[in-house]
Structure 1
Amino acid sequence: MTGALTAERILDAAEDTLRRFGPGKTTVVDVARSLGVSHGSVYRHFPNKAALRDAVAERWLQRICVPLHPVVTEDGPAAERAWRWLWLLSTTKREMASNDPELFATYYALASEIREVVSDHLETLTELLARIVADGVRRGEFAVDDPRETARTMLSATTKFHHPAHAAEWADPNLDREFETVWELVRRGLETR
């Protein structure tokens, strides 16, 4: 083993191991073997297999949020930012599915089993989008009573474009046009009357 064993190195190795064996067959021993350490060394960083799997899924879900954060804090019309934020959420997941379909499927299977991690991710997405909606309300662009509930509804309305359960539909050549149609309905619902 070269370098100190860190949580990040373990997570990298776990990701590689999951890619090779899938979530059903990957064990802590497999991850440790790929690092050239004992499984006890892995357990010093993650108390059990479930904690390691949670950390792997959480890290993957955090990657999805990276391009979304800057859009929240930009200046500019809230409607344009909300569109761009939803578009980035959609295209980021589509790129992940396209660039590494085996790992994407593995992460989806893993995340489906880890309800708390997924719930936390959805709360993060809701909070980020709600900040854009609230800014739109402050600017007089949007007429909504509850930015958080509105953000949650916007995520529900656009589920087809970003939820991994719909990944098989993402190759549809009409998907971008459909996104624009759904966005237009959402935008009209947000605007001041």
Structure 2
Amino acid sequence: MNRFVLDKESILQAAENAIRRYGPCKTNLTDIAKALSVSHAAIYRYYADKADLLEAVTERWLARTFRSLDPIMRENARPEEKLRHYLQELCRTKRACAATDPEMFENYAVLSEGSSRALKEHLHHILNQMESIIQQGIHSKAFIDQDPRQLAISVFIATSRFHHPAFASEWQNPDIENRLDAVLNLILSGMEIRN
């Protein structure tokens, strides 16, 4: 006889399912507990409250969703090509999430309005990867020799219209890719060393 064991992973999966069914605002711990056939008090042994659980769900979703960025870091390409590809993939993934996983994207967007540990970690991971690419560009003399962290932050801010959830309503514009390319051309042109 298989006996169900309540653990963080089963709670996170049930919470993600509930968010997709009810949306993040209407999801409550009772719905999640009911799906797991436990009392909502059992969930409190793992998560302090709904906000804590939604934060954990978002952290798990972000890590899974943005795995597509990791292989770009191993590409054997010029730094300017790698940075362009990285930013295109970041923006494409956010657009795809907004279109194909709207409830989880809404959960992410709601958290992005506040100070969220999961979002800080997500941002830190993205900035670290961008900084690494920029550092390669500085080392190979493709990019200007400035603080790579500050350059990564500047590039992130300059492209935010294409990846921050506050601008998601604009992402359906059929010209969005051309606009992103124009911004990337401007950014990369400003970072390259001129002879």
- TM-score higher than 0.5 here? yes
Question: What RMSD in Å do the two structures reach over aligned CA positions?
Answer: 1.8
The more displaced of 106-115 and 34-43 is 106-115
Length-normalised TM-score, structure 1: 0.91
Report how far residue 113 of structure 1 moved: 3.6
Find the counterpart in structure 1 of residue 32 from structure 2.
31
Q: Deviations over 1:23-70 (max 9, x none)?
A: 232221211111111223222222332321210121222234311122
Distance across 2 between alignment mates of 1:68 and 1:54: 22
Alignment of 1:1-193 (within 5 A): 3-193=4-194
Q: Percent identity?
A: 37
Q: Deviations over 1:123-149 (max 9, x none)?
A: 221111000000111111111311111
Give the length in aligned residue pairs: 193
Segments of 5+ residues of structure 2 without an aligned counterpart are: none
Structure 1 window deviating more from structure 2 (46-55 vs 175-184): it is 46-55
Q: Distance in 2 between matches of 1:188 and 1:116?
A: 34
Q: Is the 8 A contact 1:29 1:38 kept in 2?
A: yes
What is the alpha-carbon distance in structure 1 between the residues aligned to residue 154 and residue 31 of structure 2? 41
Alpha-carbon contact 2:144-2:193 (below 8 Å) kept:
yes
Distance in 2, Cα, partners of 1:59 & 1:121? 10
How far, CA to CA, are the matches of 2:115 and 2:138 in structure 1? 35
In the alignment, is the contact (CA less than 8 A) between 2:79 and 2:142 conserved in 1?
yes
CA spacing shift, 1:114–1:35, aligned 2, 3 Å: farther
Residues 20 and 114 (structure 1 numbering): CA distance in 2 closer, same or farther, change over 3 Å?
farther
